[in-house]
């Protein structure tokens, strides 16, 4: 048992434009080298592009896309008797949202093209439609957990 203090949960504030905690989390995940203004501009412009292309509320589209990408189960390494097993475990809500945002942004960065605004907007639309690399990443995680189903007895 660890003797360290438990770390306090940080309170995440809402963003100024959409009054959403999810949007603020997304901005913080896009953030590189402390340039929060640039991250905000990228996300807000991507949301405008989504609004123009789909003609629906971009916040609802983002929520649905994150929900589609959120994994339900993941594998964690567990060392038992000198062997390391991949043990499937359920994903908590906060971690699921964090993983979904990470998958979306990483997939958007890996898309071909120069403009991050367009890449992020297209990735969110693809996730909304249950296609794209972020959905593949989620399905890959679920397949890995399914393959290691036999080790569920070794849970933490």
pLDDT in tens, 54-70: 899 999 999 999 999 99
- Does some domain include residue 3? no
pLDDT above 90 covers a percentage of the chain that reads 74
Q: Decide if 6 is inside a domain.
A: no
What letters, b where the CB count within 10 A reaches 16 and e where it falls short, cover 49-87?
bbeeebeeebbebbebbbebbbbebbbeeeeeeeeebeb
pLDDT at 1 over 80: no
Query: Is residue 1 in some structural domain?
Result: no
The neighbour count for residue 46, using CB atoms within 10 Å, is 26
The average pLDDT across 80-102 equals 91
Q: Which domain holds residue 146?
A: 21-154
**CA–CA separation, 104 and 65 (whole Å):** 9
Q: Is the pLDDT of residue 155 over 80?
A: no
CATH code for position 147:
1.10.455.10
Residue 96: the pLDDT is 95
Residue 156 pLDDT more than 80? no
Residue 8 lies in a domain: no
On the question of pLDDT at 92 being above 70, the answer is: yes
The number of distinct structural domains making up the chain is 1
């Amino acid at each position: 048992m660890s003797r360290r203090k438990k770390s306090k949960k940080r309170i995440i504030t809402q963003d100024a434009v959409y009054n959403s905690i999810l949007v603020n989390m997304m901005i913080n995940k896009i953030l590189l080298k402390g340039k929060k203004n640039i991250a905000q501009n990228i996300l807000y412009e991507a949301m405008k592009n989504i609004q123009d292309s789909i003609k629906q509320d971009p916040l609802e589209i983002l929520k649905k896309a994150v929900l589609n990408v959120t994994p339900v189960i993941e594998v964690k390494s567990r060392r038992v008797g000198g062997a390391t097993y991949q043990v499937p475990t359920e994903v908590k809500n906060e971690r699921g949202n964090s993983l979904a945002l990470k998958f979306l942004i990483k997939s958007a960065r890996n898309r071909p093209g120069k403009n991050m605004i367009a890449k992020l907007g297209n990735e969110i639309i693809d996730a909304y439609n249950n296609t794209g690399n972020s959905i593949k990443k989620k399905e890959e995680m679920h397949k890995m957990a399914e393959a290691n189903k036999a080790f569920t007895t070794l849970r933490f």
